[in-house]
Structures are given as structure tokens and as C-alpha cells.
Structure 1
Amino acid sequence: MTSEMYSIKDLENLSGIKAHTIRIWEKRYGIVQPGRTDTNIRYYTNEDLKKLLNISMLTQHGFKISAISQMADEEIAQKIAALSIVNQPDIYGESLLLSLIDLDEPLFNKTFLEIVMSEGFENAIIRYIFPFFRRIGIMWQIGTITPAQEHFISNLIRNKIIVATERINRSPDPALGTVLLFLPENELHEIGLLFYNYVIRARGFKTIYLGQSVPQQSLDRIMTARTFSFIVTHLTNPLPQEDFMNFCHLVCEAAPGIDVYFTGPVPENIQGKLPKNALLKKDLLSLLKMDIV
């Protein structure tokens, strides 16, 4: 189904409300009214999904479905707005999801700004944006959202991190040295590495950010020409252990005596003998706890 046509399973995955409960609410309260395709398959629209997301939020805060069913859409919106004043962390996730579903950039910008004002930039990314990415990653895998929707949100967040990095009002400390950040060949998921770059720069290091899919030969030449305090890379694409170990040895041998941090879900599951200067960090929090940062 398209992003405008959701199955009841899609609604369950997105709203957190069980399909069985949605069906009961349909029959008993007329909460949503599914349409039918030409082949008589039931489907739901964006408006149905948004209504269920709002209802889910109200029921989580003690409202009875029997009372919600009597509310006009405007009253439901008012109740949600009132909740947002005292329960912002709960509202943020739903607002981010709605901005994804509707491709609503103003809503995303408003929500993100509220989170940053409340939590600070780093916590906004760590506590809200990365968990949100894990959520939409699952939805993308099961086909609940489209690649276009995922790309829409990814580019908005990517731009936020780049702008925040450019606004860092701190000169690099020469005593800390330079950090190299890169993604290996065929690795295109850049947001995690962009945030590492922000975090490391904010702590006074100079960084050289190479970005996506850097050929090993080019990497070798840079490592030969420069000295680095440490090196960070990030792997998310599925990779056989043998291939990872080969990559790990190539990078570490090109940078003898320099700590190389391999981050992301791929290194997390690796077992085997690593070079002495290879350090596996499964997630962002692990990297942030490094003494050097």
C-alpha cells in the first residue's frame, strides 16, 4: 500500500494500538471508517492514522475511549495541546512521527526546536532523534513507510547537525590534535558519523570529516600524510565477520599506533582477534564516555 493507504497492521505498528482494539473501536465507536479498494481490501488514510495517534496519546494519559469518541477533532487537538505543556517528552515522539507521515517540515522544525530548547542539542539527538530513527528503521523494513519518507526525515536531521556543527563557537585546541572521521566504501548512512563529528568538535578537537564511502586507497594516502589523535568510523550495513576483520586490519595497519574506533551495529556483534589499536564501540553513548572525549 502507498503512504496514503494503510493496512490495519500498519496502523498497529505506527500507533501502538492493537489491530483487535482498532476493530472494536471501529464497530463500537466509529472512531475510523476504513475504505475499500477495487478488490475489496480494507485500507485507512493519513487522516485515520493521525486520529489514532492522537487517540493513543489521550488514552495513555487516562482519557476513556468512550469520552474521546464523543469529541470533535478540534477538541481532541486542544486536549493534545494541553498535554504537551506538561508531558512534552511523550508528545515529541508523536509529533516527529506525524511530521514524517505528512512530510511536514514546519512541524518537524517546531518539534525539534522545542526539544533542543528543553534538552540541549546533544540530548535532543541522543534521547529523541536516534530512538526515533530506530523506530522508523523498523517501519521502513516492514514497509509501513516509504523510502521517500525516510529520506525526507534523514535529510532534515542531517541538515540540523551540519548547521549545529558550523555554529560551534570554539577554536580547536592544538594540544588535543586532529581526529579523522570517515565511512568505509559502500557505507552511506552518514547521520551517526555527522553527530560524532559535532560532538568531537564541540569538545575542542580539530576534525577532518571525509563522509560517505571512502575508498581504502584514498584513506591510506591521508593516513600516511597526516597524524591523528584518533580515528572514528561507523558501520551499519550488514557485513560478514570475515569482511569486517579484513577492513579492520587494513585501517589499523595504515594507522599504526593510532586508536581506531569502530562504531555502529556491525562492530557490536564481531568476535575475533583485533589489532591492538582497534576499539569497538557499539553505540553513541559508548563513544561519548571515552576519556579522550
Structure 2
Amino acid sequence: MSNYSIKDLELLSGVKAHTLRIWEQRYNFLKPQRTDTNIRLYSDEDLRLILNVSLLKENGIRISNIAKMDEREMREKVIKITDSQTSFPEQIYALTLAMVELDEERFEKIMGTNILKHGFEKTMVNIVYPFMSRVGLLWLTGGINPAQEHFISNLVRQKLMVAIDSQFISEKEVKDKYMLFLPDGELHDIGLLFANYLLRQRKNRTYYLGQSLPFEHLISIYDIHKPDFLLTILTVTPTSFIEVQRFVDDISQKFPKSTILISGPQIVGQGIEEPDNVVILNKFQDLVDFINDPNKSKYQL
């Protein structure tokens, strides 16, 4: 069982903490435990309840009517809504519930339905990645059960691997060469896998080196393939601004003949100075725009 703070519930459900407190007092929805310092702690059942209540309310059901529903009735209405509507917020709610309940069958149904309707790329960009960003923030702050995060991450990873393996690029189709890696100590590879999919889908050759790659090994492999571009994502390492800036400067100097594409929470919005051959990607659309840019040769030295 997980213990969530009220801020964790706010992040996962989109319901403001102030509103949660009102619901708690007025409708007796929640009965959180309290720490010795009187801080509210919520369970998986509380999170599931708030997700359900929020989804029903967003779909026009009055909060006073929701308060009268029992658990079975509430769940049936939620399933009916998420099965009949494929708007992005509802599907993000549905994924969150699948994670909390460790419900693989529900995950598969959500993914299958949305991929058929929107295609794989749009499903990832508009549903899965926003959802995983929320989960990632909670994982970093210790606000989510690691088992739940591992469960949903591995299911998403499997989908990405299948999508990547289905792509074949002949040598004559290759546009540019990209080398993808995560630095030593960095294990969160879903963003990198999705970048690999986007690149291959657009007929680029990729050399996917995966998680936690020591710098000296990157250098030796780079010398073999000499890619046009290097791409990495910094989520939890390095751990300070000075270390991040040093990493950016080092990789720029070590690979002066390639353009370095960097993204991730440790980079975006952190005031990192970009050397001439480094491009910071603030979101996945930036990567798509970069790949599609007919003038991106201007970045190559």
C-alpha cells in the first residue's frame, strides 16, 4: 500500500488540494490517516476514489449525486465513460487507475483503443507521456509505490519495443545517424525509447546504447559509428546545476563534430548554457521539429 500526500493526490488527479479538503469535510469522501505532525496521508483506495470522483464530475455528474453512489456504482460509471470516450484527459485518468490497481488487462484495452483511434505516436505524445511525466515526478519525490511505477513503466516499455522492432529501414532510405544513450547512473529510459521510435519512424539510423552508459564506453562506440547526432536525457543525474553544466560542456568538447541533443528535468528550464554544438529540447515536439527541419545541417559542424 502507498501513502500519498495531498499534493501527490493533486498531481495525479488534477483536483486542487483546497477542493480535496472541502470534499473531505462536506461529503466525507476521504478519511486520511494523520502523522504525528498532523499531515494527511492517503492510501491507494483514497487515490482511486478521488480519480473516480474527479472523472465523474468532469463528465457532468453533480458532486452531491456522486457522494450518494456506492463503490460498485461509481466504478461501473467510470468504466462506461472511459470506454466510450477517448479524449486525452479521460484516458490519462484511466491509465492512472490501471497503475494503481496493477490492472494489465485495463492497460492493454486503453492502449489498443487509443492506438486504433489516434495512432501510436499521438497516443504516446498526448496520453502516455503526460501520464508518465506525472508518475516520474512522484517517483522522484517518493510519492508513489515503486512497484506501481515499475509495473506501468514495464508495460509501456514493452509497447515501445514492439513498435520499434516493427520498423525496418533500408540503407538507401537512411537520412541521418543518431546515437542514443543515458549517462552513467541514469535508468529512466522510456523517453529515450520513444525518441528512438520517432527517429526510426522518420527513416533515421539509430544506435541505441540504453541505460547507464559510462562515458568512456560512449567514446569508444562513437569512434566506430561517428553519428551525426548524439541524443541523451537527464532525469536524475547529475545531481546539481554545476555537475549538469560540466556534463554538457564535457560532452560538447568530447564530440565537437556532432550535434548533441539533450533533454530531461535536469536540463529543461534550468538555465544551462548551450555550447555551439548543443541543442536543448524542451519537449518531444522539439525533437520532431528538429528531425523534420530540412535545414538542420546548419547544426552540423
Deviation sequence 1:134-161 (CA, Å, 0-9, x none)? 2123333444321221122112111211
Contact 1:179 1:230 in 2 (8 A): yes
Q: Partner residue of 1:51?
A: 49
1:94-243 aligned within 5 A: 94-173=93-172, 175-239=174-238, 240-243=240-243
Deviates more, 1:202-211 or 1:14-23: 14-23
Deviation sequence 1:155-193 (CA, Å, 0-9, x none)? 211121111100124435455242211112222221111
Contact 1:235 1:264 in 2 (8 A): yes
Report the CA distance shift for 1:87/1:64 in structure 2 as closer, same or farther (over 3 A): farther
CA distance in 2 between partners of 1:262 and 1:42 (Å): 38
Contact 2:181 2:209 in 1 (8 A): yes
Report the CA distance shift for 1:73/1:197 in structure 2 as closer, same or farther (over 3 A): same
Q: Partner residue of 2:273?
A: 272
Contact 1:172 1:201 in 2 (8 A): no
The alignment of Structure 1 onto Structure 2 pairs a total of residues equal to: 290
Query: What secondary structure does 1:137 align onto?
Result: helix
Flag structure 2 segments of 5+ consecutive residues without an equivalent: 297-301
CA distance in 2 between partners of 1:220 and 1:41 (Å): 49
The amino acid of 2:273's aligned partner reads G
Report the CA distance shift for 1:137/1:180 in structure 2 as closer, same or farther (over 3 A): closer
Q: Partner residue of 1:260?
A: 260
Deviation sequence 1:204-230 (CA, Å, 0-9, x none)? 112111111222222222222223222
Q: Partner residue of 1:284?
A: 284
1:99, CA displacement in angstroms? Answer: 1.3
Contact 2:252 2:260 in 1 (8 A): yes
Q: Partner residue of 2:81?
A: 83
The amino acid of 1:54's aligned partner reads N
Flag structure 1 segments of 5+ consecutive residues without an equivalent: none
CA distance in 1 between partners of 2:34 and 2:184 (Å): 46
Percent of pairs with identical residues: 38
The amino acid of 2:159's aligned partner reads K
Report the CA distance shift for 1:89/1:175 in structure 2 as closer, same or farther (over 3 A): closer
Larger radius of gyration: 1
Query: What secondary structure does 1:207 align onto?
Result: strand
Q: TM-score, normalised by structure 2?
A: 0.81
Q: Partner residue of 1:246?
A: 246
